Chain A
Amino acid sequence: MLTSLWLLIAIPFVSGGLLLLLGRRADRWGHWLGVLAPAVSFVLGLIAFVQLGGRSDKAVEQNLWSFIAVGDLKIDFGLLFDPLSGVFVLLITGVGSLIHLYAVGYMAHDERRRTFFGYFNIFVAAMLLLVLGNNYVMLYLGWEGVGLASYLLISFWFNRPSAATAGKKAFIMNRVGDAGFALAIFLLFKELGTVKYTGDGGVFESVGQLSQGTVLMVGILLLLGACGKSGQFPLQAWLPDAMEGPTPVSALIHAATMVTAGVYLIARSNPIFSANPTLQVIVVSVGAITLLIGCIIGAAKDDIKRVLAWSTVSQIGYMFLGVGLGGGAYALAIIHLLAHGFFKANMFLGAGSVMHGMQDQVDIRRFGGLSKHMKITWLTFMMGWLAIIGIPPLSGYFTKEPIIAAAFERGDWTSWLFGGAALLGAGLTAFYMTRLFVLTFHGPKRWTEGQHPHESPAIMWIPLVLLAIGSVVAGFLMKTSVVTWLNPVFEGVETAHHESVIPHSLINILGIAFTVIGAGLAWMLFQRGTALMPEPAGPVVTAARNNLYTDAFNEVVFEKPGRWLTRALVYVDNKGVDGLVNGLAALVGGGSGRLRRLQTGFVRSYALSMLAGGVLVLGALLAVRLG
C-alpha cells in the first residue's frame, strides 16, 4: 500500500467527481458511493499505517509527476506518508466515514443529497492531499481545496441569503490567510530555493541557514495562513457563521478536520517554529487569546451549533497553545486534536440529531428535558460533554491537562500568563458546555408549539455511539502510544526543559477543581431552565453576545471603507479616466466642427486661400534661398 499512496486521494476524488458529473442518474445510489469512498480510503490508510509501523525509516515519499518546473524552481506532485500524516489520514477517513454514514440519514430528505456527497468526497480528497503532500505547494493545493469544499458546503443551501453570505465570508477570510501562506512559500523559495519539506536540502534541513528575521517572517506568514484556516484570532469570525451549512459539514469540516489544518501546518513546520523563540511566543499568544475569546463568546450564545463552533475555536486555541509551546507539546497538541476530532464530531452530530428531532430548532432556550425523548443522543452527547470538559478518565482529561501543564513549564513569568489562561479556559469550557448540556437535555421543557421530539434512525445513532466510544477511550489509548509514534516527526526538536513553576500534581488538582467549579456553577444556574428571550445584561455579556464586536470591527474597518472606495473608484473611472478619453474625443470633435466652417462654398475665397498659400510657399522658398 505504501507504494500506491495516491489511491488514498484518488478514490474519494474520483467518487466525488463521478457524483457531480453523473447528475440525476446517480441520485438513487450516489450516497452509498459517497460513503464507500472514504471507507475504502480508511481501510487502505489503515493498511499503510500498519506497514509504516513495520518500517525503520518511518517515512515514505513518492513523487508522482513533475508539477511545476521552471528554471531553478522544481515542484513535484509528491506525497509523504509519515507518522504525522498517518494519524491525520486515519482521523480524516475514519471520523469522515462515520460522518458520511450519518449524513445518509441526516440528508435523506434533501433533494440535492447526491451533490452533497459529491462535495463531501471532494473535501476528503483535498484534506488528504493537504496532509499527504511532501512540499508546501502540495499542502497549499489541498489547503485551498478544502477551502473550496468548505465554501460549497457552507452555502449548500444557497438560496438562504445567510448561508450564501456565510460561505463567501469563510472563503474570503480564508483567502486572507492563504495570501499570507503563499507569501511564506515565496519567501522560502527565495531564501532556500526549495519548497520541499525534507530531502535534497529541503526546507527543514536548511532552516539553520536562515537569519532569525527571515525565520520569524516565514513563521508569521505561515501562522497567518493557519489562523485563517483554523479560525484563530484575528481571523476567527467566519467559523461560527459557517454553521449555516448542514450539520454533518459542521462536524466533519468545521470541527474535526479542516479547521485543525492550521495545527497540522504548524506541527508539520515544527523545525521552523522551533527555530525562533519569539515566533513561539506569538503562536502561544494567539492560542491563549483565542481560547479565551472562544470560551467567553461561547458562554453567551444560545444557538446550539454556534456554542459548539465557538467551543471549536477555543479548543483549537488549546492546540495552538500546544504547538506554540514546542518541544514535547507538539505531540500533545496532536493528540488533543485527534481526541477533539472524536468528541466534537460526536457532539455536533448529537446536535444534528437533536435538530432532526426538533424540526431544525437550534435555540437552546427552546430545548429542555430532551433526555427522556432521545436517550441515545443524550448518552452519547454526555460522553462528549464529559470528554471536552476533561473529566477523568475520558479523553479530554488525558489530552488537555498535559497542555495546561506544559504551559506552566516555560520557566519565566509567561508560564503564569499562559498557564493561567489555559486553566481559566478549562473552567470556562466546563461552564459553557455544561450550560449547553443542561439547557438541552435537562430542566423543564421550553419547546415551541407542535414539537414531537424523537430519536433519530439507526443510521444516525450508530455513528454517534461509535464516536462516543472514541470520546471515552481515545485519550487514554493515545496518551503514550501516539506520542511515541509521533517521535520521528518531532525528534529533531530540541527541548529546552524548564521546571514547571508549580508542581504537576497541583496543576492536575487545580484543573479538575476549575472544571468542577465551572460545571457546577452552570448546573446550578441553568437546571431550572432559562428565560426564552435575551435578558438585559452587563457589558461583558452584551459584548460576548456580539462576538466581542469583532464583526462590527471588520465591518467598520474593512467592509464599509471598501464599499465606499469601490463606489468612488467606479465614479473616478467613469468620469476621470474615461472622462479624459471622452473629453479628448469631444475636443477633437469640437475643433473639427469649427474648422469645417472655413468651407464656405464660395469658389473665390478658396482661390484667395490658394493664392495666399502659393505666396507663402514662394516666400518661404525665397527666404530660404536668400537667407
Chain B
Amino acid sequence: MTPMWYIVLATVLFSIGAVGVLIRRNAIVLFMCIELMLNAANLALVTFSRINGTLDGQIMAFFAMVVAAAEVVIGLAIIMLIFRTRRSASVDDANLLKY
C-alpha cells in the first residue's frame, strides 16, 4: 500500500473539517471540526515522516496533539462560560468583539 492513500485520507478529513467550520453554527461542532482538521494535519505529518524516513514529522505530531489538548481545555471552558451567560452555543450570537 502506497503512503499516497494516507495523504488522500488526510485531505478528505481536512476538507470535511474545514467545511464543517464554515457551515455549522454550534460552537461544540465547530470545535470538533477544528479537531478533525488538526488530526488531518497530524496524519499528514506522520505520513510524510514515513515517506522521508525521518522522525521529525512524528515529533511534530506529538507537539500538535499536546497543544490541541491544551487548547481543548481552554476552548471548552470558554464555550461553557458563553453558554452559561448567553444561553446559546451559536458562534454567530457571540459577535460582540468587532470594530
Contact = CB atoms under 8 A, between A and B. Distances in A.
- Do A and B come from the same complex? yes
Interface of A: 596-597, 599-604, 607-608, 611
5 contacts: A601-B96, A602-B92, A603-B30, A604-B21, A604-B30
A604 B21 CA distance: 7
A599 B22 contact: no
B2 interface: no
B30 to A, nearest CB: 8
A602 B95 contact: yes
B13 to A, nearest CB: 15
B97 to A, nearest CB: 6
Interface of B: 18, 21-22, 25, 30, 91-92, 94-99
B22 A600 contact: no
B95 A599 contact: no
Main SS of the interface on chain A? helix
Contacts of A602: 91-92, 95
Contacts of B99: 596-597, 599-601
A604 B96 contact: no
* Residue with the highest number of chain B CB atoms closer than 10 Å, among A599, A604, A608: A604
Nearest to B91: A603
For the complex of A and B, the 3 pairs showing the least CB-CB separation, nearest first, are A601-B98, A601-B95, A596-B99
Contacts of B91: 602-604
Contacts of B97: 601
A517 to B, nearest CB: 96
Contacts of A597: 99
B95 A600 contact: yes
B22 A607 contact: yes
A607 B21 CA distance: 7
Nearest to A611: B18
A596 B97 CA distance: 12
Contacts of A603: 30, 91, 94-95
A608 B98 contact: no
A604 B20 CA distance: 10
A597 B91 CA distance: 19
Contact of A600 (B18, B25, B30, B98): B98
B94 A599 contact: no
A601 B94 CA distance: 8
A603 B12 CA distance: 23
A614 to B, nearest CB: 9
* Residue with the highest number of chain A CB atoms closer than 10 Å, among B94, B96, B99: B99
A603 B26 CA distance: 12
A597 to B, nearest CB: 6
Contacts of A600: 95, 98-99
A599 B99 CA distance: 6
Nearest to B33: A607
Contacts of B30: 603-604
Contacts of A611: 18, 22
A599 B25 CA distance: 18
B92 to A, nearest CB: 6
B14 to A, nearest CB: 11
Nearest to B92: A602
Nearest to B27: A603
Given A603-B95, A604-B22, A607-B21, 13 more contacts: A599-B98, A599-B99, A600-B95, A601-B94, A601-B95, A601-B98, A602-B91, A602-B95, A604-B91, A604-B92, A607-B22, A608-B22, A611-B18
B32 to A, nearest CB: 14
A608 B18 CA distance: 9
B65 to A, nearest CB: 22
A603 B79 CA distance: 13
Contacts of B18: 611
Nearest to A593: B99
B90 to A, nearest CB: 10
Contacts of B92: 602, 604
A191 B92 CA distance: 85
Contacts of A604: 21-22, 25, 30, 91-92
Nearest to B96: A601
A516 to B, nearest CB: 99
A597 B98 CA distance: 8
B79 to A, nearest CB: 12
B11 to A, nearest CB: 12
A271 B94 CA distance: 95
Nearest to A595: B99
B54 to A, nearest CB: 22
A611 B25 CA distance: 17
Nearest to B97: A601
B88 to A, nearest CB: 14
A615 to B, nearest CB: 10
Contacts of A608: 22
Contacts of A599: 98-99
A364 to B, nearest CB: 83
A608 B92 CA distance: 14
A572 to B, nearest CB: 38
A271 to B, nearest CB: 81
Nearest to A599: B99
B33 to A, nearest CB: 10
Nearest to B21: A607
Nearest to B95: A601
Contacts of B98: 599-601
A601 B95 CA distance: 4
A162 to B, nearest CB: 64
A600 B97 CA distance: 8
A452 to B, nearest CB: 88
A601 B97 CA distance: 5
A44 to B, nearest CB: 85
Contacts of A607: 21-22
A603 B95 CA distance: 7
Nearest to A615: B18
A289 B98 CA distance: 83
B98 to A, nearest CB: 3
A462 B25 CA distance: 112
A597 B25 CA distance: 22
Nearest to A596: B99
A593 B97 CA distance: 16
A601 B96 CA distance: 6
A266 to B, nearest CB: 78
A331 B98 CA distance: 93
A421 to B, nearest CB: 85
B44 to A, nearest CB: 14
Nearest to B94: A603
Nearest to A597: B99
